[in-house]
Amino acid sequence: MSTKKKQKQKRRKRLHLYLLNDEVNSFEYVVKVLMSMCGHNAYQAEQCATITHNNGKSHIYSGLGMEPILVYESLIKHGLSIKLTNKKL
């Protein structure tokens, strides 16, 4: 197998998580979940929640490999509306 093929196979795609606005979860709850699951500080979590409230969505997390998938699953379990994509919206 050529070196280029090996490099392409080893490349992992960056995955992006977007928080989608919903009418179910409180602002405070969303902030707490973002802080605990995504590692945001209070300011970052509040900004993401505000942007989501105003624009309908906000970029909250990105990463390589399985990590963003695990974060996605955790956020879904906490009842948040999340979109997982390999493209930045």
Q: What are the pLDDT digits (tens) for 41-80?
A: 999 999 999 999 999 999 999 999 999 999 999 999 999 9
pLDDT at 12: 75
CATH 3.30.1390.10 fits 14-85, yes or no: yes
Q: What is the mean pLDDT of the chain?
A: 91
State mean pLDDT over 24-35. Answer: 96
pLDDT at 7: 56
Q: How confident is the model at residue 88 (pLDDT cuts 50, 70, 90)?
A: confident
pTM of the shown model = 0.84
pLDDT at 3: 58
Helices (H), 1-41: 3-10, 27-38
With 0-12 CB in 10 A as exposed, 13-18 as middle and 19+ as buried, what is 54? exposed
